[in-house]
Amino acid sequence: MTDILPILYVPDPRLRAKAKPVTAGDPRIPALAEQMLATMYKAPGIGLAAPQVGELLRLVVIDIRPDEKPDPMVLVNPEIVAESKELATREEGCLSLPGQFADVTRPARVKVRWTDLAGAKRELEADGLLSACLQHELDHLDGRLFVDHLSALKRNMLLRKLAKELKAKERE
């Protein structure tokens, strides 16, 4: 049985750290990726980055169609190698900022390179939801959160609201 991992919430400092590259053949990765996928599906979410479960490693899992036939992606040391000038705006949430949502503008399309669990080099051009999800998850690997793409006013409002709601939950 794959255990579900606790997801860190803002303002945990580990969410602001820069994650370290995964060493090729690191034996912890397959099990960690499996635990991250189980945690993501249960949340539910369509993406999860290792820093969100306290592992400061450059590892991301994604499945943008969780309710259909699962189609999980495991990305080791992913990097964006190209992005479109054209932008796209979409409402984003984050499992580390529960209940908070805001419109985020990002490049509409990205080209991403990564290593998969078999050690093969992969490359993909994404648009739409997958493009937003890849950029959102890869931000996590550099300690960036979707609120960092908002105005300071909106970011502070959202962070204050989150802190209030998490405190209220603690008191329940």
Shortest Å distance, C-beta 136 to ligand K2U: 4
Nearest CA-CA partner of 61 in 53, 73, 77? 73
Shortest Å distance, C-beta 78 to ligand K2U: 13
- List, in sequence order, every residue forming a beta bridge with 103; answer none if it has no partner: 91
From the list ligand K2U, Zn ion, none, which binds 132 (C-beta under 5 to 8 Å, kind-based)?
ligand K2U
From the list Zn ion, ligand K2U, none, which binds 46 (C-beta under 5 to 8 Å, kind-based)?
ligand K2U
Count of alpha carbons within 13 Å of 112, Cβ hemisphere only? Answer: 27
What residues contact 6, with CB distance under 8 A and at least 6 apart? 53, 54
Q: Where are the alpha helices (DSSP H) in 22-76?
A: 29-42
Residues that bind ligand K2U (CB under 6 A): 45-49, 92-96, 132-133, 136-137
Respond yes or no: is residue 172 known to be catalytic.
no
Residues 61-120 that bind Zn ion (CB under 5 A): 94
Which sequence positions are flagged as catalytic? 137
Residue ranges in contact with Zn ion by CB under 5 A: 94
